[in-house]
Chains A and B, each alone.
Chain A
Amino acid sequence: KQEVTQIPAALSVPEGENLVLNCSFTDSAIYNLQWFRQDPGKGLTSLLLIQSSQREQTSGRLNASLDKSSGRSTLYIAASQPGDSATYLCAAPIQGGSEKLVFGKGTKLTVNP
């Protein structure tokens, strides 16, 4: 059964710092992995979708990597800003390319001005 774990649960950093959020998953036979952002009281916004054939995906100051062999993905945020404060969630298919996603509990990021 797919399990997704995110570490740390919460992170507080000063503005401008580079940071890494970690996600691990137990079933590595997945076709893709997604990172989402959730602001308080809001829905989820897709940040990056990494296909299994890719090792990395980049969007602006965000870079996500996927290492299926180790069951890990990381989200790197460069030059963090207060507007980056949110909860970041990763999600993996329950198996293969299943439409059913299993989410981690998220990392709550606070970027202090």
Chain B
Amino acid sequence: GAGVSQSPRYKVAKRGQDVALRCDPISGHVSLFWYQQALGQGPEFLTYFQNEAQLDKSGLPSDRFFAERPEGSVSTLKIQRTQQEDSAVYLCASTRLAELTGELFFGEGSRLTVL
């Protein structure tokens, strides 16, 4: 595709619900990243894939967060039993190269509000 596409753009969940956020990276991009951005803050790293392999998940806040990229293209970030502190914008980014020596392209994000 022309850019990184994320869906849904907005999600309101009741506390305790499960949510799934989708990221469709730029076609052919090897690396895919998930970041979490709280209001007024810079994005914070969650996890990183190279093709289908999840190479780093050190930023995931708890075991309620799970990400996958089974075929090395589309990725899903799943949050189980959502809590109010999970409210944030979840940003997906991709880059063509396996190492971050190139430009990083971000999607517009999925804004999650947990009531």
Query: Which A residues are within 8 Å of any B CB, using their own CB?
Result: 4, 31-32, 34, 36, 41-46, 49, 51, 89, 91, 93-94, 97-106
Contacts and interface: CB of A to CB of B under 8 A. Distances in A.
B111 to A, nearest CB: 8
Contacts of A51: 101
Contacts of A104: 42
A105 B105 contact: no
Interface of B: 4, 6, 31, 33, 40-45, 48, 55-56, 58-59, 91, 93, 99-109, 111
Contacts of B40: 105
A97 B108 contact: no
Contacts of A31: 100-101
Q: Can you list the 4 inter-chain pairs with the closest CB atoms, starting with the nearest?
A: A103-B42, A43-B106, A44-B106, A43-B108
B7 to A, nearest CB: 13
A49 B107 CA distance: 18
Nearest to A102: B45
B48 A44 contact: no
Contacts of B107: 43
Contacts of B33: 99, 101
14 contacts: A31-B100, A31-B101, A32-B101, A34-B103, A34-B104, A36-B106, A41-B111, A43-B4, A44-B106, A89-B43, A99-B99, A101-B43, A102-B45, A104-B42
A44 B103 contact: no
A94 B59 CA distance: 12
B99 A89 contact: no
